[in-house]
Amino acid sequence: EAQVTQNPRYLITVTGKKLTVTCSQNMNHEYMSWYRQDPGLGLRQIYYSMNVEVTDKGDVPEGYKVSRKEKRNFPLILESPSPNQTSLYFCASTDGNQETQYFGPGTRLLVL
């Protein structure tokens, strides 16, 4: 089954404790993205990747890092999480025609 998986699905952590949210897709897609979704602000793009070792900033990259060492994986790293990074995070991958974007199930993060 074609899918995008994220782990963990829920995470409660404390300020400053580094964390990684993993994202993996099994569709051999070149393009992958990370978004955060906050009430009243909609979905905002954090980072995206056009291919292995090719990443670029979205609209809200501050406080986040990503890497794309393999085509299937696109982890999101919070080196020093802060409470304003409490949010719902989605990973997505897009097919080569760039017509269909598949979203992962989401990771709900709470930073205390």
Partner 1 sequence: EDKVVQSPLSLVVHEGDTVTLNCSYEVTNFRSLLWYKQEKKAPTFLFMLTSSGIEKKSGRLSSILDKKELSSILNITATQTGDSAIYLCAGRIQGAQKLVFGQGTRLTINP
Using CB under 8 A as the binding rule, the residues of this chain from 16 to 35 that contact partner 1 are: 31, 33, 35
Residue in 89, 112, 93 with CA at minimum distance from that of residue 7:
89
The only residue of 8, 84, 105, 112 in contact with partner 1, by rule CB under 8 A: 105
Contact 59, 40 (CB under 8 A): no
Preceding omega of 8 cis (within 30 degrees of 0): yes
CA distances from 45 to 15, 30, 68, 112 (A): 22, 17, 16, 23
Build a one-symbol-per-residue string for 35-74: x at contacts with partner 1 by CB under 8 A, - elsewhere: x----xxxxxx--xxx-----x-xx---------------
User: How near is the Cβ of 12 to partner 1 at its closest, in Å?
Assistant: 20
Residue closer to partner 1, measured from CB, 42 or 79: 42
Q: Helices (H) and strands (E) in the chain — how many of each?
A: 0, 11
- Of 19-27, 60-68, 71-79, 95-103, which part binds partner 1 (CB under 8 A)? 95-103
Cβ neighbours of 42 (radius 10 Å): 9
Residue among 46 and 78 whose Cβ is closer to partner 1: 46
Positions touching partner 1 (CB under 8 A) are 31, 33, 35, 40-45, 48-50, 56, 58-59, 90, 94, 98-106
